[in-house]
Amino acid sequence: MEREEIITKNKIHPHKLTLWIGIGSIVMMFAGLTSAYIVKRNQAGWVSYDLPMAFWYSTIVILLSSATIYLADKSFRSRAMGNYRRWMTVTAVLGIVFMVIQYVGFKAFWSQGMTLQANVAYSFLYVIVGLHALHVAGGVISLIVMSLMAFSKKKRVYSTVPVELIGTYWHFVDALWIYLLIFLILIR
């Protein structure tokens, strides 16, 4: 009975659809923040600044991690579970490295006198980049959980959905970072 119900509808998987709508929702939050940023930039008291060098390194790291999660997804599909576990772990590590570099960038920025309270321009940078890092952290936690599950001998997972979900989300936080980086460089 269940089988019949499903085969009649060859639609996108409900969990994936939910994720896409959720991504739309996150986009709206950052759209709200970046438009507030644009409004504020056109008002008195705004100061321009250069992004910390570290953000360029973190960009390379997160781009790399998008490649590794793609490889993880590919390995899972061909049931190369050893490779899958390896790439998932590498991606999680790269995610953590990304957050560490962001923190290092913040620290360098802060030590140059550009503290959270010094100017609204800096406040925006901390809030926007910080919130993005939180979204990366969410992804890292899911990656760690999935990697641990992949190492567990007891459970065998055959559905590709969780892997696709985390893959989509991870590419999204990557793309979101690229957008934010370009935004922060062009509009300052």
- Buried b / exposed e over 87-118, threshold 16 CB at 10 Å, is bbbbbbbbbbbbbebbebbbeebeeeebeeee
* CB of 150 vs other proteins, minimal distance in Å: 17
Q: In sequence order, what are the residues at sequence separation of 6 or more whose Cβ sits closer than 8 angstroms to the Cβ of residue 82? A: none
52 DSSP 8-state letter: P
Q: Given the complex with other proteins, which of 36 and 67 has the nearer CB atom?
A: 36
Q: Given the complex with other proteins, which of 90 and 184 has the nearer CB atom?
A: 184
Size of the site for other proteins (CB under 8 A): 46
Residue 127 interacts with other proteins (CB under 8 A): yes or no: yes
Residue 161 interacts with other proteins (CB under 8 A): yes or no: yes
Taking residues 17 to 56 in sequence order and writing x for each that binds other proteins by CB under 8 A, - otherwise, the string is xx--xx-xxx-xxxxxx--x--xx--xxxx----------
Rule CB under 8 A: choose which of 63, 116, 144, 175 binds other proteins: 116
Q: Given the complex with other proteins, which of 93 and 116 has the nearer CB atom?
A: 116
Distance of CA 148 to the CA centre of its chain: 20
CB 173 within 8 A of CB 102: no
Rule CB under 8 A: choose which of 78, 117, 154, 156 binds other proteins: 117
CB 54 within 8 A of CB 105: yes
